[in-house]
Structure 1
Amino acid sequence: MTNLKILLTTRKYIATAQLFLSLSLIFGTWVTYIPFISTKVGLSKGDLGIVLLFGAIGSIFTLPFGKKLVSKIGEGKLALITTSLYAISMLGNFIADSFFLLCVCLFVNGLSSALMQIASNSIVSTLEKKDNVSIMSSCHGFFSFGGLIAAGFGTMILIAINNPLIHIILMVSIVLILQAVFASSYLPYKTESHVEKNETKHYKKPIKNVTLWGLASVALCVMLTEGAIADWSGLFLRDVVLVSPNIVGLGYAGFSIAMTLGRFVGDNLSSKLGAWNVIVWGLALSIAGFILVLWANTFPTLSGFLLIGFGFSTIVPEVYRLSTNVKGVHPSSGISFMAGAGYFGFLTGPVLLGAIAENFGLKTSFLLLLALVTLGIIIATFIRRKKALAVK
Structure 2
Amino acid sequence: MARDGRAHVTLPAFLRTPRLRSAALPFAANGILYGTWASRIPEIQTRTGLSEGTLGLALLGLAVGLVVSAAAAGPLVARLGAHRVTLVALALFALAVVGPGLAVGLGSLAAVLVGLGLTSGLLDVSMNAWAAEVEAADGTTILGACHGSFSLGGMVGAGLGGAAAALGVPLALHFGACGLAFAGAALAQGLGVRAPAGAAPEADGDTPAVALPTGPVAGLAALAFCGLIVEGAMADWGAVFLREVLAASEAVAALGFAAFSACMAAARFGSDVATARVGDARLVRLGAALGAVGLAVCIVAPAVPLAVVGFGLVGLGFAAVVPALFRAASRAPLPPGVGIAAVAGAGYLGFLAGPPVIGFVAEASGLRTSFALLVALAGIVAAGSGAAFRRVRA
Q: Compute the TM-score of the two structures, normalised by the length of structure 2.
A: 0.88
Which segments of 5 or more consecutive residues in structure 1 lack a partner in the other structure? Answer: none
Deviation (angstroms), 1:142: 0.4
Counterparts in 2 of 1:188 and 1:273: CA distance versus 1, 3 Å: closer
Instruction: Spell out, residue by residue over 1:220-273, the C-alpha distance to the aligned partner (whole angstroms, 9 max, x if none).
Output: 222232123223322222222222333222222211111111111111111100
Residues 248-257 or 158-167, more deviating: 158-167
Deviation (angstroms), 1:39: 3.6
Secondary structure of residue in 2 paired with 1:97: coil
Q: Which residue among 232, 235, 240 is the counterpart of 1:230?
A: 235
- Equivalent residues in 2 for 1:118-267 (5 A)? 118-161=125-168, 163-186=170-193, 188=195, 193=200, 195=202, 207=212, 209-267=214-272
Instruction: Spell out, residue by residue over 1:353-374, the C-alpha distance to the aligned partner (whole angstroms, 9 max, x if none).
Output: 4455556544443333333222
Deviation (angstroms), 1:13: 1.4
Q: Equivalent residue for 1:390? A: 392
- Work out the CA distance in 2 between the residues paired with 1:188 and 1:335: 18
Counterparts in 2 of 1:90 and 1:201: CA distance versus 1, 3 Å: closer
- Work out the CA distance in 2 between the residues paired with 1:190 and 1:90: 34
Counterparts in 2 of 1:248 and 1:156: CA distance versus 1, 3 Å: farther
- Work out the CA distance in 2 between the residues paired with 1:349 and 1:211: 24
Say whether residues 1:23 and 2:30 are aligned partners: yes
Is the Cα–Cα contact under 8 Å of residues 37 and 161 in structure 2 kept in the other structure? no
Say whether residues 1:302 and 2:302 are aligned partners: no
Q: Which residue among 13, 16, 19 is the counterpart of 1:9?
A: 16
Say whether residues 1:56 and 2:63 are aligned partners: yes
Is the Cα–Cα contact under 8 Å of residues 52 and 347 in structure 1 kept in the other structure? no
- Work out the CA distance in 1 between the residues paired with 2:375 and 2:213: 29
- Work out the CA distance in 1 between the residues paired with 2:148 and 2:212: 29
- Work out the CA distance in 2 between the residues paired with 1:285 and 1:233: 17
Deviation (angstroms), 1:117: 1.1
Name the % identity: 30
Is the Cα–Cα contact under 8 Å of residues 70 and 190 in structure 1 kept in the other structure? no
Residues 347-356 or 158-167, more deviating: 347-356
Q: Compute the TM-score of the two structures, normalised by the length of structure 1.
A: 0.88
Letter in 1 for 2:243: R
Q: Equivalent residue for 1:110? A: 117
Say whether residues 1:320 and 2:326 are aligned partners: yes
Is the Cα–Cα contact under 8 Å of residues 71 and 192 in structure 1 kept in the other structure? no
Q: Which residue among 262, 280, 284 is the counterpart of 2:285?
A: 280
Q: Equivalent residue for 2:373? A: 368
Deviation (angstroms), 1:166: 3.0
- Work out the CA distance in 2 between the residues paired with 1:204 and 1:55: 21
Q: Equivalent residue for 1:40? A: 47
Is the Cα–Cα contact under 8 Å of residues 16 and 186 in structure 1 kept in the other structure? no
Secondary structure of residue in 1 paired with 2:140: coil
Instruction: Spell out, residue by residue over 1:316-357, the C-alpha distance to the aligned partner (whole angstroms, 9 max, x if none).
Output: 000000001123x22321011122222333344444444555
- Work out the CA distance in 2 between the residues paired with 1:125 and 1:258: 24
Which segments of 5 or more consecutive residues in structure 2 lack a partner in the other structure? Answer: 1-7
Is the Cα–Cα contact under 8 Å of residues 234 and 248 in structure 1 kept in the other structure? yes
Q: Equivalent residue for 2:344? A: 339
Residues 98-107 or 370-379, more deviating: 370-379
- Work out the CA distance in 1 between the residues paired with 2:28 and 2:229: 20
